[in-house]
């Protein structure tokens, strides 16, 4: 079969929702296309497993950004040169230069997308975020209008009130691994600010414990929540290991897609109703550009026919930049590798997980945190903390011997704006990703303020003992210049890119408030790329909400 009613490009957080909701009608044929493989690796289902996937995992698009001009320069190895001496001898000469540090951008490449490799934190953002979207002219996207979709998606084991759902497919539970250092972090922060038992309730501000998208001690990805229950439906086709090259466009209408399967065969699939892009903040603009949709100068230079002029495709990239402080502390109650943990703790934890689905192997790594304001005049928190009872260095790509802790300080509403574009017309080429981190001076100032408050919390009892032994990168907390240097040396994403196909009515918007692509027919974008501004929190739950809301709009528009 090569013709369907709807073709969904990407089986991530939004794509899985769409596949489930649209295929509920047995008269509608749906095809879901995923570039990655099936999610059958145990590390994708045992919660702590994501920390052991590695930076070259087949389940992740392990992208690098272009060198970030506001980051410090680092040494870069280049190909060896050859020199010939006066006697005719040949000598290989190592070459080394410096360039601005690149960022790392892992994104999910399997069923469930990034919800299958993330830290499973259930965070919606702040009410202000969605009211701001509405104020920008996006009718239907205020907090009161999106809250029903958060609730529709959710089955919350802990909270049963007007802010939470009880019958949705996405299971939300409290953390099952709560070491004493997490308690100490929350107590220290609550002494200076306040305690919050629900970051998704009446008020976001304060210190507390995150909730997690897990069920019975296992990861509850979008694939687990939405796709697995729908797989037996005869009207749903799921294609994995299938790379989308471009959307087939005739007279500004999407007719289908051209794909490359696992055996490198080019195939064409046709959509009778709509093609729906759900390939994320990097994938969706890439596919649009390869299809000839976007700014002309970025399309024609790659030999691609320019079909629809939309200058905003790939622009407006926003991401949460984050700085970690890392400290060594010798305790068997922290996560890490030493003789005690390897020979005594891990065997016990394996048994706890095997028989009870509790303990270390249910860890999200980032288990406690906070939302705080660095200034009293702010309408919503501008800094988020993630506390991890483990030493996390360079996104976990650098192994560290011993035990310890880390704390992230994340800037929630950066003013810097970046872009993503094509490196070439090759459908297998990585995109050129330039978040332009720290390009707005206010971002640096807010991050310095956030760091100072974080260190004040960490130096407060009962947590202070954990940071006294060793600091991965000592910083003078009284010297703003030293804090800024540390940020430029080490800060990077906390994995929340959005905005590259933004929703709106201005010249740089890509979709309208019903997520239909401007100046086109039968094409929508449904994923985090449609966010006009970055929400103040983790982006998985908001992306699932977008999928739920879009599903209703599509069903309404087609009267199905």
DSSP assignments along 399-419, one per residue: --BEEEEEEEEEESS----BE
Same domain, 303 and 325: no
DSSP 271-319: EEEEEEE-SHHHHHHHHHHHTTEE-HHHHHTTTPPP-EE-TTTT--BB-
pLDDT tens for 171-229 read 999 999 989 999 999 999 999 999 999 999 999 999 999 999 999 999 999 999 999 99
Q: Report the chain's mean pLDDT, rounded to a whole number.
A: 95
**Does residue 526 lie in a domain region?**
yes
**Does residue 94 lie in a domain region?**
no
Same domain, 140 and 191: no
Which 3 state secondary structure label does DSSP give 506? coil
Same domain, 332 and 397: yes
**Does residue 326 lie in a domain region?**
yes
Same domain, 276 and 398: no
pLDDT tens for 119-169 read 999 999 999 999 999 999 999 999 999 999 999 999 999 999 999 999 999
Tell me, what's the pLDDT at 85? 56
Spatial neighbors of 104 by CB under 8 A, at least 6 apart, are: 55, 62, 63, 64, 65, 394, 395, 397, 492, 493
Give the integer Cα–Cα distance in Å for 131 and 296. 33
Which 3 state secondary structure label does DSSP give 186? helix
H helices of 459-504, where? 480-490
- Is residue 186 within 8 Å of residue 368, measured between CB atoms? yes
Tell me, what's the pLDDT at 46? 97
- 467, 490, 513 — which closes off a domain? 490
pLDDT tens for 229-284 read 999 999 999 999 999 999 999 999 999 999 999 999 999 999 999 999 999 999 99
**Does residue 88 lie in a domain region?**
no
**Does residue 430 lie in a domain region?**
no
pLDDT tens for 75-120 read 987 666 555 656 666 656 566 789 999 999 999 999 999 999 999 9
CATH of residue 300's domain is 3.50.50.60
Q: How many CB atoms lie within 10 A of CB 139?
A: 12
Q: Where residue 470 falls among pLDDT bands split at 50, 70, 90?
A: confident
Of 323, 328, 244, whose CA–CA distance to 291 is shortest? 244
Tell me, what's the pLDDT at 124? 98
**Does residue 418 lie in a domain region?**
no
Tell me, what's the pLDDT at 92? 64
Spatial neighbors of 511 by CB under 8 A, at least 6 apart, are: 501, 502, 503, 517, 518, 524, 525, 530
- Is residue 179 within 8 Å of residue 333, measured between CB atoms? yes
Tell me, what's the pLDDT at 79? 62
Same domain, 235 and 354: no
Same domain, 233 and 354: no
Which 3 state secondary structure label does DSSP give 251? coil
Of 456, 549, 534, whose CA–CA distance to 123 is shortest? 534
Instruction: To the nearest 10°, report the CA torsion of 55, 56, 58, 60.
Output: 40
Q: Is 496 a catalytic residue?
A: yes
Tell me, what's the pLDDT at 54? 83
Of 61, 126, 176, 59, whose CA–CA distance to 497 is shortest? 61
Based on its alpha-carbon atoms, the radius of gyration of the chain, rounded to whole angstroms, reads 24
Which 3 state secondary structure label does DSSP give 471? strand
- 490, 507, 529 — which closes off a domain? 490
Same domain, 368 and 390: yes
Q: How many domains is the chain partitioned into structurally?
A: 2
DSSP 419-438: EEE-S-S-TTSPPEEE--TT
pLDDT tens for 370-426 read 999 999 999 999 999 999 999 999 999 988 999 999 999 999 999 999 999 999 999
pLDDT tens for 296-325 read 999 999 999 999 999 999 999 999 999 999
Same domain, 270 and 121: yes
- 490, 515, 550 — which closes off a domain? 490
Give the integer Cα–Cα distance in Å for 512 and 139. 9
Same domain, 349 and 397: yes
Give the integer Cα–Cα distance in Å for 33 and 25. 19
Taking the model in full, what pTM does it have? 0.95
Distance between start and end Cα atoms, the chain: 21
Give the integer Cα–Cα distance in Å for 372 and 188. 14
CATH of residue 475's domain is 3.30.410.40
Q: Where residue 472 falls among pLDDT bands split at 50, 70, 90?
A: confident
Find the catalytic residue in 177, 320, 496, 518: 496
Give the integer Cα–Cα distance in Å for 189 and 375. 17
Same domain, 393 and 541: no
Q: Per DSSP, which regions of 161-252 are E strands?
A: 170-174, 206-209, 211-212, 214-215, 218-219, 236-239, 243-250
pLDDT tens for 354-370 read 999 999 999 999 999 99
For residue 355, the enclosing domain spans 176-209+321-411+438-490
Q: What is the mean pLDDT of residues 16-40?
A: 98
**Does residue 93 lie in a domain region?**
no
Q: What is the mean pLDDT of residues 444-464?
A: 97
Q: Where residue 538 falls among pLDDT bands split at 50, 70, 90?
A: very high
**Does residue 149 lie in a domain region?**
yes
Tell me, what's the pLDDT at 453? 98
Tell me, what's the pLDDT at 399? 87
Q: What is the mean pLDDT of residues 464-491?
A: 93
Same domain, 295 and 239: yes
Give the integer Cα–Cα distance in Å for 131 and 157. 27
Pairing of strands 321-328, 492-493: antiparallel
Same domain, 191 and 274: no
Tell me, what's the pLDDT at 95? 67
């Amino acid at each position: 079969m090569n013709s369907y009613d709807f073709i969904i490009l990407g089986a991530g957080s939004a794509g899985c929702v769409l596949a489930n909701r649209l295929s509920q009608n047995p008269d509608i044929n749906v095809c879901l296309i995923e570039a990655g493989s099936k999610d059958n690796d145990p590390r994708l289902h045992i919660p702590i497993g994501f920390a052991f996937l590695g930076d070259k995992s087949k389940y992740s698009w392990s992208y690098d950004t272009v060198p970030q001009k506001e980051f410090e320069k680092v040494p870069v190895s280049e190909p060896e040169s050859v020199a010939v001496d006066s006697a005719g001898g040949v000598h290989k000469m190592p070459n080394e230069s410096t360039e601005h540090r690149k960022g790392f951008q892992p994104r999910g490449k399997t069923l469930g997308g990034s919800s299958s490799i993330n830290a499973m934190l259930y965070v919606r953002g702040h009410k202000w975020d969605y009211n701001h979207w509405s104020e920008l002219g996006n009718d239907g996207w205020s907090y009161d209008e999106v809250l029903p979709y958060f609730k529709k998606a959710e089955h919350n084991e802990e909270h049963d009130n007007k802010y939470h759902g009880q019958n949705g497919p996405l299971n939300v539970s409290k953390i099952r691994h709560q070491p004493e250092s997490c308690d100490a972090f929350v107590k220290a922060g609550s002494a200076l600010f306040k305690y919050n038992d629900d970051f998704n309730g009446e008020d976001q501000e304060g210190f507390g414990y995150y909730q997690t998208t897990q069920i019975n001690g296992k990861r509850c990805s979008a694939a687990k929540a939405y796709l697995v229950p729908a797989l037996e439906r005869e009207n749903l086709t799921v294609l994995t290991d299938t790379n989308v090259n471009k959307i087939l466009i005739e007279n500004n209408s999407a007719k289908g897609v051209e794909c490359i399967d696992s055996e490198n065969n080019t195939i064409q699939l046709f959509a009778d109703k709509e093609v729906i892009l759900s390939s994320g903040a990097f994938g969706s603009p890439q596919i649009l550009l390869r299809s000839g949709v976007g700014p002309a100068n970025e399309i024609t230079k790659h030999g691609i026919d320019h079909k629809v002029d939309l200058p905003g495709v790939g622009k407006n990239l926003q991401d949460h930049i984050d700085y970690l402080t890392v400290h060594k502390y010798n305790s068997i109650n922290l996560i890490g590798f030493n003789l005690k943990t390897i020979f005594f703790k891990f065997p016990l934890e394996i048994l706890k997980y095997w028989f009870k689905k509790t303990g270390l192997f249910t860890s999200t790594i980032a288990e406690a945190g906070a939302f705080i304001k660095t200034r009293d005049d702010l309408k919503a928190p501008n800094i988020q903390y993630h506390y991890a009872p483990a030493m996390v260095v360079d996104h976990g790509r650098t192994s560290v011997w011993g035990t310890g802790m880390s704390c992230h300080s994340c800037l929630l509403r950066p003013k810097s704006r970046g872009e993503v574009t094509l490196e070439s017309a090759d459908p297998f080429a990585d995109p050129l990703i330039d978040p332009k981190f720290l390009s707005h001076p206010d971002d640096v100032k807010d991050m310095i303020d956030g760091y100072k408050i974080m260190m004040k919390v960490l130096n407060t009892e009962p947590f202070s003992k954990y940071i006294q032994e060793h600091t991965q990168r000592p910083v003078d907390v009284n010297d703003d210049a030293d804090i800024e240097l540390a940020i430029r040396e080490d800060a990077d994403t906390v994995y929340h890119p959005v905005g590259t196909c933004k929703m709106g009515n201005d010249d740089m918007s890509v979709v309208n408030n019903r997520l239909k692509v401007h100046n086109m027919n039968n094409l929508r974008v449904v994923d985090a790329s449609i966010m006009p501004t970055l929400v103040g929190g983790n982006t998985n739950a908001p992306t699932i909400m977008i999928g739920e809301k879009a599903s209703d709009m599509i069903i309404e528009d087609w009267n199905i």
